[in-house]
Structure 1
Amino acid sequence: MTLSSPEQVAVAKANFDAFFGLAGKVFEGVEKLVALNLQVIRSTLAEAQENLTKVPGTPEPQQWFALQAGFIGPFAEKSLSYSRQVFDIASTTQTEVTQLAQTQYERYNNRVQALVEEAAKNSPAGSEAAIAAWKSAIAATTTLYETLQKTGQQAVQAVESNFDAVTATASKAVRSNADQALVATGAKR
């Protein structure tokens, strides 16, 4: 592939920059997710070791059940926290990717508009209808893109608020169930 004009070189550079920008954002998200998973594994192993050291000291079944009930609440809370953090990482990555896509779309749209304007200047007489149709198509595409973008943002916000509500409800239920289990076994937190 040979690039014969400065415009083609600029377009190729912009496309490479966009690709590497997008790849960078995706890898940042993956990196955050891997770090979170390593942190969760590390803390889970430490807690498992701590909990296993407590088991031999519980000779009575009631104490053992109380000990098990005491593990459920914190585990469920941590699971909810983990889910929230994964959602936050995914949401942040999606927002950054969307911003990059919007920037690319705006650049592309500006290039197309400049092309249409240049074509309009150099067009023969009688081609005004075709140029007007091009401009109308560009305006319709821009409107569609903006509408889809707003709809996508609203969907993400709805998912996030639903996730927050479900997480809060689940957290309350877990605490309530853990407290009930502790009460049933006669243990205290």
Structure 2
Amino acid sequence: MVNTPEQFVEIQKSALEAFQAMALKSVEGFEKLADLNIQAFKASVAESSEHMKSALNIKDARSLGDLASTNLQPAADKFGAYARDVYQIGAETGTEIAKIFEKQIAEGNKQFGAAVEEMTRNAPAGSEGVVTLVKSAVSAANNAYDQVNKAAKQAVEMAEQNIANATKSVSVARPAAPKKAA
């Protein structure tokens, strides 16, 4: 419970620090994503140039087919790696922001618990039922938050496992390389 202006200032300072930390983590995530996109763009331009040079040197239709099929799987692998990297950046950023948020929630719960205790000490006689009701509501809200938080973490773990499995299946299911005529 806020009893003094100093306590109020501390609560506001803590909230501002948490907001700033979340904003900085978000910016770091955007920076990583921008760097990844710049690297991918540079690689794409260089590879496109090489593919165009190769295409200009083609003499027959069979060579064109060979060129197309040999470039198909590496492009799929690169896209898969890019998608994994984007997901990883998002997951890491989300995890860091969630940690900050959870810390802020825990601090808020602690302060609210202290306020309820203060209210309990100063409650008039005969209000025990209301105090018990408030404590039960706080406990139920905390339990609900914990359950939702656990479910969200399980969903993230399941999504990560599905992405890992999909990545493995793409890598394993490569088509055979075209055979060159002698």
- Residue type at the aligned position of 1:101: F
Superposition deviation, residue 102 in structure 1: 0.6
1:40 counterpart SS class: helix
Unaligned runs of 5+ in 1: none
Give unmatched runs, 5+ long, in structure 2: none
What is aligned with 1:10?
Answer: 10
**Following the alignment from structure 1 to structure 2, what is the Cα–Cα distance between the partners of residues 170 and 155?**
22
Give identity over the alignment, percent. Answer: 31
List structure 1 segments (4+ residues) > 2 angstroms apart after TM superposition: 170-173
TM-score calculated relative to the size of structure 1: 0.89
RMSD: 1.4
Matched with 1:77 is 77
Deviation per CA, 1:18-47: give whole Å up to 9, x if none.
111111111111111111111100111111
Who is 1:143 aligned against?
A: 143
1:151, CA displacement in angstroms? 0.3
CA distance in 1, matches of 2:158, 2:123: 48
Counterpart CA distance in 2 for 1:68 and 1:17 is 54
Matching residue's letter, 1:51: H
What is the TM-score when the length of structure 2 is the normalising length?
A: 0.92
| 1:132-184 alpha-carbon deviations (Å, 9 max, x no partner) | 111111111111111111100100011111111122222333x21xx25x13x
- Cα distance in 2, alignment partners of residues 101 and 140 from structure 1: 20
Quick one: which amino acid aligns to residue 69 of structure 1?
S
Q: How do residues 103-114 of structure 1 correspond to structure 2 at under 5 angstroms?
A: 103-114=103-114
1:98 aligns with 2:98: yes
Displacement of 1:86: 0.8
**Bigger mean CA offset, 96-105 vs 4-13:** 4-13
Which AA in structure 2 matches 1:117?
E
C-alpha separation between the residues in 2 aligned to 1:165 and 1:131? 51
The CA deviation string for residues 61-107 of structure 1, in whole angstroms up to 9 with x for no partner, is 11121111111111000000001111111111111111111111101
Alignment match, 2:119:
119
